Amino acid sequence: MEVLKGSYKQKSFQSLKDLGQQGSSAAPGVRPTKSLQTSPIGSWTSLSHLRLEKLAEGSGWEELQDYGLEELRDGFFDASYSRPQRVAATEPPVSTSPKAQSPLAVRCKAFRDRLRVHWKAVVKFTVAYLAAMFLCLVRPASDWIGDVYSCFLPVAVLIHHPVRTVGVQLEITVQSIVGLALGQGWSALWWYVCSVARVGRHEGALLFLSLVLSGLWSSWLAAAYGRLVYMSVSFGITATFFATSMPPSEGSLPIWRHFWDQGMSYLFGLLLSLLVCIFLFPRFGHATIGRGFSSAANDLKHLLDYLVDARYCNDIPMLVEAQENAVSAIDVRLSEGYREFANQFSITRFDGKLLEQLRNSLTIAASPLRSLPLGHGLLTNVELERFHQARPQSAPENTICVRDADDHYEDQAIKTEESANLGLACGSTDLCSAIIRDKFSETIFDLIMELIHALNSLQVGLNNISESNVSASERADIKANILACLSNLHDRIRRLDIKYKEFGRAGLFTSELLLNPKSSDALVFLRYIRQCAKHMTKVLEVFLQLNASVHWRVIPPKYQWHRAIHRLSHQCALDQGASFLWNYFQTKRDVDDAFEMIYNSYTSKHHEVSDLFSRQGMRPRIRAFDHKDFAVHSTSNPIRYKLWQLNNSLLGPESRWARKFTVVLVALCLPGWLPGSKVWYREYHCLWAPIIYVILSNRRNSSNWRALYKRLAGCVLGVFWAWCANQAKHYSNPFIIATFSVLLCIPLAFNYFAYNRRKSTLAALICFTVPALVTFFLEEHTTASLWKQAWTTGVALLIGTFCSIPINWFIWTFTARSELSLAVSGLLMHLSQSYQIVAGRYLYRDTDDHPNDLTRSLASIREVRLSQSLLATRALVRSAVSEPNIVSEFRAYLFDELLDHFSVLLERLIEARRLGQHFQVWDRDPNTETTRALLSLRRDNVASVIFIFYMLSNCFSSGSKVPKYLPNPIFVRKKLFDTFMKLAEDASARGTSAHSSTPAAPNNTDPSSPSSAGQDHWDEVYAICFSRAFTDISVELQRIIDLAKEILGQEGD
């Protein structure tokens, strides 16, 4: 009976103890292998096996006895455990002495650099603010706009400042106008109710109800849908103003002119910011996205430069840093920049679809570089210096008509006697590396240099077409340059392919060479550079189309609405404060959605599970990878799931924040409704306390005492400056107030943009603007009246500002530290899903079910999203460090080390995914008996890793201690290799190994043909590197277990 791959119903090796006594009778079950010389049994696992044995011996673990019990049921697995040991405490990093104060010259240079970058933003911000102040200080204009309430005009300018792209500014202006209209409509309704049929005798209760409803709705809307925050703030400001500005005496008619005063002032502020944004240093997003692509190409070029630079080629830390920077440039900065571009109205010269294709093709081209072995030893200092000296003397070849690199070229080289001798003498490690270096170093150097030249040309071309005045002749020059790069790149790829074939036909692939880690790294390095170059040709082709389609066009937002509604533009997120947290939550939502989509996607070519089992009478069996194992949804009823989503949104954290926010808002407005205080509350404009509270509050800003001190200090400075502006000679002189505005606005604007102190600067400017203008409109200007008005209003602003931060410290508190545990839990879950996909879809995939284009595309999305999630979580750690230590000391170094291991784990998963698609693990087994014997052990290895991931994920999400007994991933994998080597030795002793009893290959495959032999060689290389990557995953996972126990604690301790 034929053994079905992936079926756990077959007997395991432990149940086949008589296998070693069967002699040669097992020969019919032997699977054909293709090369005796290059595929020794166990060679692809021997290096990893040796490493695991050393780790097991050196760690002092004591394996627990399993008494020979074996799990044979579907859906269960056997795990290997070690006796728990006390986790050694990780020493915190040595704290360095505080840095000495930078010299004055250095600080002046840093100041000049910041000024050179942000001077346009400072000018735009200052012009808009001063224009708003001038309109308020010119009495005829201010009387018509809104009289004393014209101070809403500069406040609206400050909230919606013009230093944004035109598309974003237009969007937030429309949002705020809608919020203003809704707020005035809502308030007009309640004012009408308060003035009809004597209902308004106790209008405070009605206004209280109005404010409660509006506060709940506006705060929930901003918390649930981040993109609508400006509509929510405008609605909240308007509703709060009208809830506290009713006439102070019962029976008085409402002053309906207040609707004109507040509405026109706020509207004029919105339109003024929009006009300044459009006409003064306008930004349409065109140059920004062009610079983003250019910067990403430059970072890739730097990595390749270091690889062929004699000074840095052996500097592994420098190369790792350049590699990480290149990965971050593509996966994070370029990706975020394109999302920013696609999420807004843009006036650009780029075609949106071609720009997306360029982003995707550049991401694919950079993907092999993140798994590039850096210690390959293929390029040495001496050779690089020699190649660089010889390169200027040889003119580059511009071959225009070159066939595609994937075409098969006839190799004219023949096996020389020298090559044969080299192949026989390839036993030395150094000699193996020298042979590969001799054959490939010059060719790969030329290919890397051509890649650098292509990236440089791409960077220059992007910079040129990003300019608004690029001419047709310049575009023609760009096209000619890119075509030359494309031709040269094809030629270099062809030469490398010829070298491949020469190397394979020379008989240099030997078992000794393959068992040399340096050799396998060098061969993988060649393949990854070749893949990068091949994908780079696609990048250049897309850029040629982009260059040919350059003309001005308007591109509307094309981001998916269900994701765009939660995404706030970068500048707006900075303005809201705690931009790290905004970025973290946006990234977390995108990553969760992407993983749910990917994890539940069926990419197999077998449309039904039963397609794998076409025989009659056989029930469908559980596959090696089942998407229902860890599905997010616990119900298949769509209506029930939608109801759960609705209930979660109404009663979730957003709703809790809305209730807490509204309680504080009502408390700040309460004096405006009480008979004993509502007169002075309106007279001294204390209604600005709840208004500034609405403006400054942020649900996801934990902050600390230092942030509170800075915000309050800014408020005191603003109030003091406002009193000084009115108290100066010629009381409340508009020219003096305008002068004071200029003197305050310029440094604060620089502080706003250059140092990203957004909320404290905004609070300072509002606390200057409101007291200055309110005092300016007083009928009587005396020293006492100016002091009383300015400081009474200022104290109200201080109270509202003070409440905007501690609200997050009490009742349903938000802290970055509590969120960090959930972030780590999510990362563990996503890493587990990625591991399961790699194991099920790549390593143990079904027969004739190779990963297709869809599978690879989803893998690329998954890897990019995980990289973004890791960086966002690192930013969350930095936010957690700034929080005060109240209950216990926060050990950030443990989370930093944990995330470092996550990063290594992710890179190994990416490496395993790239390698696993090139070989079939079942073909590495010598016979079907071995495959059947190893099925349960392979199941145990994968299932143990997944089980550990999910146990740790649940511990972090619930805050529970880590169980004392968890499977030891090193022991489980070592057990698999032990069994594999024992089977190989038994088969060799019986004389039934593939070396002596391999049946003839199928008729359609000639194992002696050069192409078949070359493929066998590369299969062996990929298998060795894959085994090493999967072993690294087990090693890293054991260290993650120890760190989790140190962070959360261990049960029983």
pLDDT digits (tens, 9 = 90+) for 709-735: 999 999 999 999 999 999 887 778 899
In angstroms, the CA 685 to CA 689 distance is 9
Backbone torsion region of residue 934, taken as left when φ is above 0, otherwise alpha when ψ lies between -120 and 50, otherwise beta: alpha
**What is the torsion angle, in degrees rounded to the nearest 10, for the CA atoms of residue 636, residue 639, residue 641 and residue 645?**
170
Same domain as 354, residue 259: no
Q: Which 3-state string (H, E, C) describes 59-107? A: HCCCECCCCCCCCCCCCCCCCCCECCCCCCCCCCCCCCCCCCCCCHHHH
Of 487, 516, 551, the residue at which a domain comes to its end is: 551
Mean pLDDT of the residues in the chain? 82
Its sign, for the CA torsion 183, 189, 195, 200, is negative
What's the Cα-to-Cα distance from 482 to each of 268, 298, 351, 403, 455, rounded to whole Å? 50, 16, 19, 17, 10
Same domain as 878, residue 991: yes
902: in domain: yes
As a whole number, mean pLDDT of residues 137-154 equals 91
In angstroms, the CA 206 to CA 1042 distance is 59
Same domain as 885, residue 748: no
869: in domain: yes
Same domain as 795, residue 852: no
In angstroms, the CA 492 to CA 497 distance is 9
Of 777, 806, 835, the residue at which a domain comes to its end is: 806
Q: Is 102 exposed, middle or buried (0-12, 13-18, 19+ CB in 10 A)?
A: exposed
Same domain as 329, residue 194: no
Same domain as 885, residue 925: yes
pLDDT at 41: 44
92: in domain: no
753: in domain: yes
Same domain as 375, residue 335: yes
**DSSP symbols for 611-635:** GG--STT------S--TTTT-S-S-
pLDDT at 897: 93
Same domain as 860, residue 896: yes
1012: in domain: no
Amino acid at 1001: A
pLDDT at 834: 92
Q: How confident is the model at residue 406 (pLDDT cuts 50, 70, 90)?
A: very low
Look at 666-675, 882-891, 967-976, 1000-1009 and tell me which has the smallest mean pLDDT. 1000-1009
Q: Are 871 and 827 in contact (CB under 8 A)?
A: no
What's the Cα-to-Cα distance from 58 to each of 23, 966, 972, 999, rounded to whole Å? 38, 20, 17, 43
Q: How confident is the model at residue 993 (pLDDT cuts 50, 70, 90)?
A: very low
Q: Does the structure show a pLDDT above 50 at 1008?
A: no
Residues 6+ apart with CB under 8 A from 72: 8, 9, 12, 936
Same domain as 675, residue 720: no
Domain membership of residue 374 as a residue range: 286-343+350-409+419-551
> Whose CA is closest to 462, among 293, 632, 246, 662?
293
Of 667, 689, 711, the residue at which a domain comes to its end is: 689
pLDDT at 410: 35
565: in domain: no
What angle, rounded to 10 degrees, do the helices at 104-137 and 734-754 form?
A: 140
Same domain as 672, residue 725: no
Range list of H helices, 472-606: 472-505, 511-514, 517-548, 561-564, 570-575, 579-599
Q: How confident is the model at residue 231 (pLDDT cuts 50, 70, 90)?
A: very high
38: in domain: no
As a whole number, mean pLDDT of residues 694-710 equals 86
Q: How confident is the model at residue 39 (pLDDT cuts 50, 70, 90)?
A: very low
Expressed in angstroms, the distance from the first to the final Cα of the chain is 52
Question: Structure pTM?
Answer: 0.85
Overall number of domains in the chain: 4
Backbone torsion region of residue 556, taken as left when φ is above 0, otherwise alpha when ψ lies between -120 and 50, otherwise beta: beta
712: in domain: yes
In angstroms, the CA 709 to CA 696 distance is 14
Per-residue pLDDT of 24-36, as tens digits, reads 344 445 454 444 3
Q: Are 854 and 565 in contact (CB under 8 A)?
A: no
What's the Cα-to-Cα distance from 489 to each of 293, 353, 476, 535, rounded to whole Å? 20, 25, 20, 11
pLDDT at 358: 94
Same domain as 755, residue 857: no
Same domain as 266, residue 381: no
